[in-house]
Structure 1
Amino acid sequence: MLKINVRYNTLFWLIGYMTLISPVIVLIYSYYGTGGAFLIKEFFYLCLVSCVPFIVMHKRMDPLGILLFIMLSIYLAFNFTFSEAAMFAKIASLRQFLAPIFFVTIGFYFTKSVKDLEEIYKAIILSVIIVLVFGFVERFSDFWNFIDVASFYRYKRINVSPEGLPYFWFEPRFGMTRMVSTFLDPINLGHFFVLAFFVVKYEFELIFSSLKIYAILLVLILIGLFLTLSKGAWLQFFLVFLILNKNLNVIIRLAGALLTLVGIVIYSQTHAGFWIHVDGFINIMDHITLSGHGVGTFGNYSSMYNLVDPRYLTGVGDSYWASIIGQFGLIGFLMWIFFFLKIVLHLRHHYISLVLLCQIFISALSENTFNVLSVFHILILSGGLIKYSKNNGSGPPYLESQKIDQF
């Protein structure tokens, strides 16, 4: 039985907005053909920025976190000012870097009680139901034939296939179309499914009282995860559910690790895309500096918007770590990795810590793994969990089954 008992707080609506906004933008652009449709999403980021002063001044903010934020802001301001990249590439790249940090702080700031934290869980569970329904409809029907997706992605300077769909919606190795649902990106969707699986697994009683619905939803999430054909999301799931699961027998975990390793080796030998990701990370070593080359000079947005300057087409791509190191140098990377590993350490007794930790390290080989929609839900939740623990002088709330040693 579904218990619709939500308080519809700020975080609930933020999660719903980010989950559903992408297809709305496509529809507006498809029918009106105006780039102004993108302003709908940019408005959200503007609201995030406007909240920063209130968040920084919040009495329960970690002083070390405030100091790090101030240092990072000054560093980014200089980096942005002296970067020679195209302005749009600079803006898009800076947003890509800052948005995940803002998500954590927004989750922290708007979580006032355990009830607010429960609303985050409920919003994620309700979101995955909507995402699954839409995902199966668009994947097994001609839904996208009725929407001009091609012009939308051409406007974003993303290559489109003769079928009118972006090439990254296809998996040539399997000859299959990938599920994209409301995220319009199979990688973003895959990582959301991984988070949703564990949230449903441990928090289902907040909404469900029927074990049948619970089991069916978990199965549907796994099917959806498979249909994204997102290898990074698959790896994240196997790492958290199998290899790093302390509740499993050591032999089972070792067997899982061996099977995963064999799968990676086979994939690397049969799919050229694997080495694009690996090379994207390795090649950054040829461009590594202490302070970086400037915002917008490395990463996917650089290759999309710096079309007139060949200096930025360096072969370094499809690695979030590489994009940060290239743009912001070792200093920027160390500040970034410190911020997120500090979150993982704080949440070390909660299952979310493993999900986030694996996503951080997989992003070394996939830039989209730490894209805005890939991390929005997990970072909003992480911020809420941190706030709750500070309010109560204890670790994040969990049922006995949610402890890492029980996981």
Structure 2
Amino acid sequence: MTAAIDPVDLASRLIACPSITPQEAGALTILGEALQELGFEVHRFLSGSAPDGPVENLFASRGSGSPHFAFAGHIDVVPAGNGWTSDAFTPQIRGDLLYGRGAVDMKGAIAAFVAAAADVPTHRGTLSFIITGDEEGPAVFGTAAIMEWMAERSIRPDMILIGEPTSEHRLGDMAKIGRRGSVNIWIDVPGTQGHVAYPHLADNPIARLARILATLEAMPLDDGTEWFQPSNLEITDLRVDNPACNVIPGEAHARLNIRFNDRQRGPELVERVRDIVEAHAPGARFEAKISGEAFLNEPGPLSDMMTDAIRAETGLTPVLSTSGGTSDARFLTRLCPLIEFGLPNATMHKLDEAVAVDDLRTLRAIYRRMIESALGAG
């Protein structure tokens, strides 16, 4: 019989690996060994090259055929920063909390699902892990690369659970069934530098950039949908780099982000902004990067299973939401229905990131119910 796994112990061992994107730092070794002991066939492979790589990824599976239920997550973490009470990569239990970078986002959830897999040693179909080392970074050589690897081998899950920290106030109060899209845009308006006393000999780019930004602020988007809040444009940077008060600058710069729902498409939004920029400042430099499109998994069998598992272990009925930032769900949604559910997110990316020990054990029980519902128990 498969030995039980303590999710607190496994989470602690993973936290002790300083796996700042794109470094694996031993976390995939620990994870891979734990999965091999549970009967999983483990594949690790490098993708990409500098400056955004190489990134090490992992795919592991147990069983064969359908149904195929996959858990997706990431072992990489954001830098710790200064000011922690104790070392960020020395896991420490103080009171009822386990402290360390990645405790919430998302080594805790990975440990909980491994423990759940140990609790269900036999099942129908296929159980798999899709684990990347590049979710917190550029996400170029991470989950997208694993999906290419899977496609080459005709591996396609029927349903995916992503262990992102979706809960807000209590474990179980929220799960994600979709995400907004995101696009970042950079605008550089050229001018001609000159003396402020001789404006006819210069060309001030600030006025044109101000008109661009005013038009963008007034640009209608939408009023939201049943599942999504209204799309939103935010100016995130405005820069001139002019230290003198008597000089007309030669260039002005702005950056903006649009978070958009499924009534919009990234390329269409980019073209709308590009047209406005060109109308006010012909020849301005324009760059756009679409991080992901909006997507929605309508409530159905997968979200019902998730809701039932959460309710059984916590007594809560989760809100099904599309709020928050982007995640690797924006890639995985191309494969099959998916849902995101994990720990409370109050401390993710913060100093003294911490997870309640009881939440790790409850999450293990919720994930165990998900495996049993999706694949049955032998």
Q: Same-fold call, TM > 0.5?
A: no
The normalised TM-score by structure 2 is 0.28
The normalised TM-score by structure 1 is 0.27
Q: Which has the higher strand share?
A: 2
Q: Which has the higher helix share?
A: 1
The structure having more radius of gyration, on CA atoms, is 2
